[in-house]
Amino acid sequence: MTITAIAHPNIALVKYWGKRDIEFNLPSVSSISMTLSQFCTKTSVEWDTKEDQFILNGDIQTAGSAQKVFHFLDRINLARPPCVVVSQNNFPTAAGLASSSSAFAALALAGTAAAGLSYTKTELSVLARQGSGSASRSIWGGWVRWNKGMQKDGSDSHGIPIAPIDHWEVCMIIAVVSAQKKSTSSTIGMQQSANTSPFYGQWVETAEDDVQNAEKALQARDIHTLGEAMEHSTIKMHATMMTTRPSIRYWKPKSLALIELVESLRTQGFSCYQTMDAGPNVKILCPKEEAHAIAKHVQKITQCHILEPGPDAYLC
């Protein structure tokens, strides 16, 4: 049986960086995200084939990414038969555009259904988390909080939808500085930060306040308080990255130019705020009615996409 699922990537407003457990992929901090429209991963899983095969964006994968996918399917059923997984992203893979979030959310949904299992969304989120932490948030559309949880087995570390897709008319402008594969993967980078950054302890200690402030502002549709909390979480995460040994710096000159543009647009009356992940691309949160005018300024520096809140992951 072949089953196909679609999931949308999400962008963290309050960031996840660091793990309290590597085996179960449990975060040291809770986080909040917005699921994106338009960008998506479409994944088909054929259960019970001749041999395991993983095709990503038209190319057969043999190395680490294939291993990760098949190890993930083992979590659904350790005694599973061989499977063929075909996955397509309609946006650049592994460039800090959150492709692993939509990838493992789509794989969790398609994989369980292909195995004849019917998981709740919470169970899917727990499963997706074990493929990639941020994927636990892409099971839902709109806005999602991922609680770090307390349990050793991670059963309470999953996404929780906190506002639906139509809660608020905002946009996330994705300014694409580079579509190249990132130099240091998030998984490796966050481990190095935990082991070596002198800022790591404070990053973890102060994260819960950011989550609470951001969630309150989100519920109140207060873009200034939410934007300020998002920028603060972003800068703290990048400070932790930069003070890792060896230093992890995802910023490029154009990233800084975009950060300065966002600040300057604010002084001109726009309500825009920036965030960055494990890559040089800059994402700008703003009210929907300001998005086109802001994008015009961004395009003087680099190409961009205007995205809105996106939907839950779904079976096709």
Interface residue list for ligand DP6 (CB under 6 A): 12, 15-17, 25, 31, 100, 132-134, 186-187, 277-278
Nearer to ligand DP6, 133 or 159 (CB): 133
Asked if 263 and 285 count as a contact pair (C-beta separation under 8 A), the reply is no
- Edge-to-edge, what's the strand order for the sheet holding 314-315? 59-61, 53-56, 83-89, 41-47, 2-7, 314-315
Residue from 172, 90, 95, 101 nearest 140 by CA: 101
The verdict on whether omega for the bond into residue 309 sits within 30 degrees of 0, i.e. cis, is no
**Helix, coil or strand: residue 201:** helix
In the complex with ligand DP6, which residue's Cβ is closer, 19 or 297?
A: 19
Q: Which is nearer to ligand DP6, 4 or 138 (CB)?
A: 138
Residue 250 in contact with residue 238, Cβ under 8 Å?
A: yes
Residue spans of alpha helices (H) in the chain: 64-76, 99-114, 121-131, 186-196, 200-219, 223-242, 253-267, 291-298
Residue 252 CA to residue 229 CA, distance in Å, equals 23
- CB 64 → ligand DP6: shortest distance, Å? 12
- Give me the least distance between CB of 151 and ligand DP6, in Å please: 17
Which is nearer to ligand DP6, 32 or 76 (by Cβ)? 32
Nearest CB to ligand DP6, comparing residues 17 and 47:
17
Shortest spacing between CB 116 and ligand DP6, in angstroms:
27
CB of 231 vs ligand DP6, minimal distance in Å: 14
- Compute the least distance from the CB of residue 44 to ligand DP6, in Å: 22
Q: Least CB distance from residue 181 to ligand DP6, whole Å?
A: 13
Are 198 and 243 in contact, with CB atoms under 8 Å apart? yes
What are the tokens at 225? Answer: 């308080």
Nearer to ligand DP6, 16 or 273 (CB): 16
Q: Are 96 and 132 in contact (CB under 8 A)?
A: no
